[in-house]
Structure 1
Amino acid sequence: MELIAGVSLHFIGAFSASVCYTPQKGTRRWSWQTYWLLQAGVCWLLLPVVVAFISIPHLRQVLQEAPASAMRSAFLLGAAYGIGGTAFGMAIRYVGFSLTYAISVGISCVLGTLLPPLYEGRLSAILGGPGGNVIIAGMLAGAAGIALCGAAGRLKEKDYAGLRPEEKSSYSFSLGIGLCILSGILSALYGFSLAQGQPIADVAAKYGAGHLQGNVIYIFSNTGAFLTTGLYCLYLHARHKTLHEYGGTADRKWLGKNYLLAALTGVLWYTQFFFYGLGHNRMGNYKFTSWAIHMIMLVLISALVGIVMKEWAGTKKRTTSLLILALVVLIAAVLIITYGNYLGGT
């Protein structure tokens, strides 16, 4: 039951991540960097501190006793994750959403899952233990499902090509693929950041934080991501002279709504981290699989949300069939990894 609860909590977190970008569609007369810096301030700077203060008993003592090396590693790896997120957004511009998602998330899923146990020297023991081969099979199935989603998305773009002409002047396959690979590698480091910050959570657990212990790590991992993201947004502000947008544009009626939508995005994005931590601490002996489950569910739920929002309406039969196949493979991947975790806990 604890394992089922962990997977269910990962589902809630992945759902929040899948819908967190939808409020952006409602903003008006703001540049990307204005919106992005505000939501990042909520997600990566404000909420990690506030939630840790509320949920971690004796937070001051925890931070005093926690290893400085763990804090430093979590922060620096989080900063690298922030760069990966920026590269993801840039890659979409050059090669489109579907290809970016398939390559970046696929790399992040595999690398972010295997890197922590590999670094700790436990990977061989895990793979040779009960359920190890099952987990690897589930991860491969997840990577295949993500790739199929990307292929289906590419077919959808072709289906809509005649109906929805797109601007091709910014298309650059070589640059886009390079950014996809960079994004996948650096985004995978977020899971590694949480693993490196575990000694901080262990101290929090000693003071009674229980399953909420992971919230203390976000103080370092998320603020690292905010640093690099914030610097890039400020660079864009300086380049495009858009800092004035925080005080409104010529039409100020959208200002309050824009602030609320940016804050909502930040809350939804942080919610995925909150439930990720709750689920991670219930995954038994193979907690490292949390990242794979989260990434696979993120792609799965994003596709389902797209179906509900009729984003796939009007596509050809082959596109719909490939999407259905991708969803089946992704669901199977989650079940296989969960079963591997069950075997590892017996």
Structure 2
Amino acid sequence: MSAPNSLLGTLLHAVGGISAASCYLPSTKTKGWSWNTFWLAQSVFAWFLVPLLLAWLTVPNFFSIIAEAPSKPLWMAFLLGGIYGFGGMSFGKAINNIGYSLTYTLAIGISAVVGTVMPLMVFGGLEDFFTKPGGSIVLLGMALSIVGVVICGWAGFKKEKDINAENLNKAGFNMMLGLILSIIAGVLSGVFNLSLEYGQPIADMAAENGAGNFEGNAKLVVSTMGCFVVNVVWYIIASVKQKTIREFLPNKNNKKTKRPLYKNWLLSSLAGTLWSLQFFFYGLGHVKMGEYQFASWVLHMSMLIFFSYIVGVIMKEWNNVKKGTYTLLIIGLVVLIVSFCVTSYGSS
């Protein structure tokens, strides 16, 4: 395994952030599918096929490692991953209510803090967090991240007011509902990091088998499998009740409304792959952070927030707001940029 390098670790987290910030964009190009159908399709790739393929390709004797893994880390990682599955659902619904940039900012901003502090509370080391060299600087970065989230949330409420005043709220922008869903998604996303921490013994076994920098792929597939099971069961039931399950079948009766199934599946596979790659690069970045691995979660999430704003601007989510609202958005974005710069400095 190569030597730790916090700068390279930060860059790898940035690549993961770009992947995560863009993973739901393919949903905007699917045709003839409801959100339930798209979510079910992308789940197959995001939380089952792609993590399993990455683990098989990068971890020697992967299936033997899973078979020999201690039961407690295996089941805790799986069950906590399942709890995160409900967070993923909330995240997707929040996007439908308040758009990409606000959902990512609010949910991930919360996750950045919860996902960093929760493992320290469960496994110990919270006190050392405040006294370790660089720890106070990282803590300052976390505090700035929260401030940035608050400012951006404020901008979200102002945006809702602006578009309602101009009668432009045709897409159903609902800040309060989106905020509630984002909080749920953010807290449960922090639980996913706890799932990964519980799965660390599996990653250690992978490292002993020669997985090197790819050791994290062994534990990732266990956590995502829990998420996959919850999402598939939930959305199959929802699709049957809402009669959207038929959208997976070609519409032969009307050629004009024929669903482009191949294209939709391709877009869903792209969405799922991008989601999985965020944690592929997170795993590489986490290893490279060396003794500052505890900062990986907040650093990765801060990167994700920044790039999600870039995606939001490209999608013109903030075109019809007043100058003051957009200025507030920029201030929040600057605070977030500063927050992960401070965190990166503390980590190095």
TM-score normalised by the chain length of structure 2: 0.90
**2:326 maps to 1:320:** yes
Find the aligned partners of 1:255 and 1:113 in 2 and give their Cα distance: 40
What is the Cα deviation at residue 97 of structure 1? 6.5
Find the aligned partners of 1:280 and 1:212 in 2 and give their Cα distance: 10
Give the aligned residue type for 1:272: Q
Residue 197 of structure 2 corresponds to 195
Question: Does the CA-based 8 Å contact 1:114-1:123 persist in structure 2?
Answer: yes
Residue 133 of structure 1 corresponds to 136
Find the aligned partners of 1:178 and 1:30 in 2 and give their Cα distance: 26
**2:337 maps to 1:331:** yes
What is the Cα deviation at residue 263 of structure 1? 0.9
Give the aligned residue type for 2:237: Y
1:120-163 C-alpha deviation (Å, 9 max, x unpaired): 11111121111111111001111211222222233333333315
What is the Cα deviation at residue 106 of structure 1? 3.0
Find the aligned partners of 1:221 and 1:215 in 2 and give their Cα distance: 10
**2:270 maps to 1:264:** yes
Q: 2:321 aligns to what SS in structure 1?
A: coil
Residue 147 of structure 2 corresponds to 144
Find the aligned partners of 1:149 and 1:33 in 2 and give their Cα distance: 28
Find the aligned partners of 2:96 and 2:267 in 1 and give their Cα distance: 23
Residue 164 of structure 1 corresponds to 168
Question: Does the CA-based 8 Å contact 2:160-2:174 persist in structure 1?
Answer: no
Deviates most, 52-61 or 157-166: 157-166
Give the aligned residue type for 1:11: A
Aligned length: 340
Give the aligned residue type for 2:226: G
Find the aligned partners of 1:232 and 1:83 in 2 and give their Cα distance: 9
Change (3 A) 1:84 1:254: same
Question: Does the CA-based 8 Å contact 1:10-1:293 persist in structure 2?
Answer: yes
**2:260 maps to 1:245:** no
Give the aligned residue type for 2:21: S
1:209-242 C-alpha deviation (Å, 9 max, x unpaired): 1110000112210010011111111111111112
What is the Cα deviation at residue 316 of structure 1? 2.3
Residue from 52, 65, 68 that aligns with 1:65? 68
Question: Does the CA-based 8 Å contact 1:9-1:275 persist in structure 2?
Answer: yes
Find the aligned partners of 2:171 and 2:261 in 1 and give their Cα distance: 29
Question: Does the CA-based 8 Å contact 1:146-1:296 persist in structure 2?
Answer: no
Residue 32 of structure 1 corresponds to 35
Q: Map 1:1-346 to 2 at 5 A.
A: 2-91=5-94, 101-161=104-164, 162-166=166-170, 173=176, 178-249=180-251, 250=254, 251-342=257-348
Find the aligned partners of 2:171 and 2:52 in 1 and give their Cα distance: 41
Question: Does the CA-based 8 Å contact 2:76-2:199 persist in structure 1?
Answer: yes
Find the aligned partners of 1:84 and 1:151 in 2 and give their Cα distance: 23
Gaps of 5+ in 1: none
Change (3 A) 1:135 1:57: same
Change (3 A) 1:176 1:166: same
What is the Cα deviation at residue 178 of structure 1? 4.8
Question: Does the CA-based 8 Å contact 2:105-2:308 persist in structure 1?
Answer: no
Deviates most, 37-46 or 279-288: 279-288
What is the Cα deviation at residue 180 of structure 1? 3.9
Identity of aligned residues (%): 42
Deviates most, 123-132 or 318-327: 318-327
TM-score normalised by the chain length of structure 1: 0.91
Find the aligned partners of 2:136 and 2:130 in 1 and give their Cα distance: 6
Give the aligned residue type for 2:90: A
Deviates most, 58-67 or 283-292: 58-67
Question: Does the CA-based 8 Å contact 1:98-1:153 persist in structure 2?
Answer: no
Change (3 A) 1:185 1:314: closer
Find the aligned partners of 2:314 and 2:262 in 1 and give their Cα distance: 29
What is the Cα deviation at residue 102 of structure 1? 4.9
Find the aligned partners of 1:295 and 1:12 in 2 and give their Cα distance: 12
Find the aligned partners of 1:93 and 1:320 in 2 and give their Cα distance: 21
Give the aligned residue type for 2:20: A
Change (3 A) 1:340 1:14: same
Give the aligned residue type for 1:197: G
Deviates most, 24-33 or 176-185: 176-185
